[in-house]
Structure 1
Amino acid sequence: MSTVELTAETFEKTVTSNDIVLVDFWAEWCGPCKRFAPVFEESSKKHPDVVFAKIDTEAEQQLAAAAQITSIPTLMAFRDSILVFSQPGALPGPALEGIIEQIKGLDMDDVRAKVASQAAQPEA
């Protein structure tokens, strides 16, 4: 599956209506983003069960700000609508594959329990 472009209008629906969504925040002027793009695209062909999405931070500045993007490229991964991974920097192919396998192997009942527990904690 090839990558899809996300916008503020399509982001939430894409994340909530798919099991696993990987999002690459990038910009045209960003050298590391351009080097990461073929790695991301190649991985998308190996994992048809995962949505690979890209967000152009120049075109979608409000969305990038809402996601607290301070460095690009930044890769975010959502599973069952929960953010389970976020890291700035271009990844080599084997590292990206390892992250995808870890995300697929997550015990989502455990993740949901941890999210609920964190939400129940009073602010310090």
Structure 2
Amino acid sequence: MSTLTLTGAAFADLIHQNDIVLVDFWAAWCGPCRRFAPVFENASEQHPDVVFAKVDTEAEHQLAAQAGITSIPTLMAFREGVLLYSEAGAVPAAALEEIIGAIKTLDMDEVRREISQEHEPTATRS
């Protein structure tokens, strides 16, 4: 599967309607972004069960701001609508494969339990 171009209008729907979504925040003028692009595209072809999307930060200023993007490229990984990974910098192919593998094998019930415990008042935690 090739990468999708993602806009602010479609962002939330894409994240919540797909199991695993990787998003590359980039800009055409960014050298590291251009070097990471073929790595991201190749991974999209190797993992048809994962949605790969790109956000052009120049065209989608508001989305980039809402996502807290301060440096590009930034890679975000979501599973079942939960942000699990967010890092700035071009990721080497082997590291991207490790990230994808880790995301695929996570126990999402455990992740949701941890998230709910983080949001509980301190006095009620056991």
TM normalised by structure 2 equals 0.95
- C-alpha RMSD over aligned residues: 0.8
1:58 equivalent to 2:58? Answer yes
Listed as ranges, the gaps of 5+ residues in structure 2 are none
1:73 equivalent to 2:73? Answer yes
Q: Which amino acid aligns with 1:15?
A: I
Question: Corresponding residue for 1:29?
Answer: 29
Q: Distance in 2 between matches of 1:116 and 1:60?
A: 31
Q: Distance in 1 between matches of 2:4 and 2:42?
A: 13
Q: Distance in 1 between matches of 2:119 and 2:72?
A: 28
What's the CA shift string for 1:38-74, capped at 9, x where partnerless?
Answer: 0000000000000000000010001000000000000
Q: Which amino acid aligns with 2:17?
A: S
Q: Which amino acid aligns with 2:21?
A: V
In percent, how many aligned pairs have the same letter?
62
Listed as ranges, the gaps of 5+ residues in structure 1 are none
Q: Which amino acid aligns with 2:79?
A: R
TM normalised by structure 1 equals 0.96
- TM superposition outliers: structure 1 runs of 4+ over 2 Å: none
Is the radius of gyration larger for structure 1 or structure 2? 2
Q: Secondary structure at the match of 2:83?
A: strand
Question: Corresponding residue for 1:11?
Answer: 11
